Amino acid sequence: MLRNTKGDRSLKENVMLAASTAFVAGVINVAGVIAFFAFSSNITGHVANLAKHIVSLDLNDITTLILWLFAFFLGAFLSSYIIKSHKKGSPYRTHSVPIMIEMLVLFAVALYSDLFYHGGPVESEIIIGCILFSMGLQNSVVSIISGGLVKSAHLTGLMTDMGAETAEYLHPKTNDRVVIKHKLYVRCAIFFFHIFGGLVGAYFFYLYKFEVFYAVPLILLIIIYYDLFPLWIHRIMHRFKRTSH
C-alpha cells in the first residue's frame, strides 16, 4: 500500500489504502466525540466554532481551536516535509515514517487515556490536539501517495468529488469511463469504511471504554507491514526449498 505512488499504483492498492485509513479515521472520530466531546479526524467543524467564539470573544476557546487547527496543519506539514526530504530514497521507507509517527502518537493517546485520564478539560484538549496532529499526518501522506485521490478524513470534499465524478460517468458525452469508475470505487471505499469505522469505534468504546484506542496503532502497523508480507513469504519459501534439497 505504501510502496508505489501516483501513476504506478493499482486500483487494489488505492482501494486498500483508502479503506484502511478511512476506517482508522472513522474509529478515531466517533470514539473522540464520545470520549472527549469533540471531532478529532477533521477540522471543518472546528473552523465554524472558531468563528462563533471569535464573535462571542471566548478567548480560551479561541486559543484552543487555533491550537487544534495548527496541530492538524503541523501534522500535514511534517508528513509532506519528511517525504520531500527523502524523495530519492526508498518510497516504502519514506512513506512509512509519517505512519509510524502517527502510530506512536495514537499509542501514547491510548495509553494515557486508558491509564491516566481523569476527564479534565485541559487533558481532553491536549488529547484532541494530539489526535488532530496524527490525522494531519495521515491525511497528508495518503494524499501524496495516491496523487491526491485519497483523503481519508475529508468527507465534504469526498462527496463533492463523488457527485461530480458520478455526473461525468453518467453523461452521454463521456468517452473513457474506466478511470472515472476506478476513482468512484476509491471514493466509495472511503465513505463506507469511514462509516464502518465509526460504528465499530462507537460499539467497542461502549464496551471497552478507552481501550478501544489501542486497536488503531495495530491497524496502522498492518498498513506499514502489508508490503513486506509477500517478501517474507518469498524468503520463507525460498529457505524451505533450500532445506528440503
Check pLDDT > 60 for residue 245. Answer: no
Check pLDDT > 60 for residue 220. Answer: yes
- When pLDDT is averaged across residues 148-163 and rounded to a whole number, the result is 88
Check pLDDT > 70 for residue 235. Answer: no
Written as one string, the DSSP assignment of 213-231 is: GGHHHHHHHHHHHGGGHHH
Sort 156 into a burial class: Cβ within 10 Å, 0-12 / 13-18 / 19+: exposed
The pLDDT value given to residue 39: 86
Residue 183 host element (H or E): helix 178-208
The pLDDT value given to residue 241: 63
Residues 6+ apart with CB under 8 A from 4: 10, 13, 91, 145
Q: Whole-angstrom distance between the N-terminal and C-terminal Cα of the chain?
A: 35
- When pLDDT is averaged across residues 32-40 and rounded to a whole number, the result is 91
Instruction: Quote the Cα angle for 139-140-144, to 5°.
Output: 120
CA-closest candidate to residue 121, choices 196, 174, 61: 61
Q: Quickly count: other Cβ atoms within 10 Å of residue 170's Cβ.
A: 10
Does domain 6-244 fall under CATH 1.20.1530? My reply is no
Assess contact for 189 and 18: CB atoms under 8 A.
yes
